[in-house]
Amino acid sequence: MDAISVIRTKRDRGRLSDAQIDWVIDAYTRGEVADEQMSALAMAILLNGMEREEIARWTAAMIASGERMDFSSLPRPTADKHSTGGVGDKITLPLAPLVAACGAAVPQLSGRGLGHTGGTLDKLESIPGWRALLSNDEMMDVLRSVGAVICAAGDGLAPADKKLYALRDVTGTVEAIPLIASSIMSKKIAEGTGSLVLDVKVGSGAFMKNLGDARELASTMVGLGTDHGVRTVALLTDMSTPLGLTAGNALEVRESVEVLAGGGPADVVELTLALAREMLTAAGLPDADPARALADGSAMDHWRRMIAAQGGDPDAPLPVARERHTVTASASGVLTKLDAYAVGVAAWRLGAGRARKEDPVQAGAGVELHAKPGDRVTAGAPLLTLHTDTPERFDYALEALTGDAIEIAGDAEGTAFEPTPLILDRIA
């Protein structure tokens, strides 16, 4: 077997054999296949696609490159959730303890933000003392004692994906749906969860900008999960407007705690409950009531125990940015557009995100929303508050919010505003 013949097969729109896939993934992980050769193959996959059987085998080879976790010794059924990323998407924070409060175990392996999308680990690291890096034994201990853990994936889990992901990021091949699907699902299947719920974002602030591409990605991932014996379902959810009223690390933690306390923005509560019901049903607990667990304080109790079990202080004050700048409404009327991508870029430029994986983030930086599309606003009233420790960032962040990022219609026009449903489709 050699890399050139594998590249030529896909370049010429052929189907890669199981042997070719197994060999090239293993050889690339070991360093026998060079980065430029794998880059050529990734581009050929982007341009010519893969059949379902190819994607399934590619995913299996990625899984086989490392270890697999086993949660069969836990006394609870396991359920996990994965989001394809968005702006203000803090759902994992209230969701994991909520599902644990309803009787499932949630082994949530999460990542960091890159570009305009936030990262769950960055958000939680704004809590003093909280640790993202746990050994497998520590992870199991937290799952047994609390029922939920949110932590970083270990280096031994699908190492082929870690290497290929970094390569795709710098070679213009991130958008290849077969590679996106296999990247996500190889880690989730290797993680060992019994069931998985996918939150596939659609819209300007999401990776998938249109519903057709999102459906293709969701269907591919659901098929991969099913083929590997993991009960998998996907919700397609709107990401044309930020979720909730905050985008930024400590800001989103604060909002998540509000949800766990029985309050919080309606859209965050709606999506948290919808995903919780899907996870509990997939885990064989369809009669559990997540709304009651929010109302009676049991979800909050699991949150506090989960944070403490990972070294965090749930009572410690969260970081606050030193500087603020208020963006006011330019006219009176109905806010008809607040573009998720623009808000995400503004938060990123304020210091909440990173351009490279090694970049630091500001815990208190981000954007606070004072209105959402459909709300009536008054000229001169606060629309957004920008938070950062470095005020020289304000002008750069404000550039992202110009043009058509924010639209306000007159009262007569505004009455015709039709909000986009939060949940667009379900694929199982």
Return d(Cα 428, Cα 416) in angstroms, integer.
34
Q: How many CA atoms lie within 13 A of 312 on its CB side?
A: 26
Q: How far out from the chain centre does Cα 112 lie?
A: 9
Q: Which amino acid is at 388?
A: T
Helix axes 177-191, 159-169, angle to 10 degrees: 150
Rg (C-alpha) for the chain, rounded Å, is 22
Q: Which residues are catalytic?
A: 82, 161, 168, 183, 187
Nearest-10 Cα torsion for 129, 365, 251, 169: -80
The token pair that represents 187 in the structure block: 């880690």
**Would you say 199 and 120 are in contact if contact means Cβ atoms under 8 Å apart?**
no
**Would you say 342 and 240 are in contact if contact means Cβ atoms under 8 Å apart?**
no
Q: What's the burial of 154, exposed, middle or buried (CB within 10 Å: 0-12/13-18/19+)?
A: middle
Return d(Cα 424, Cα 200) in angstroms, integer.
10
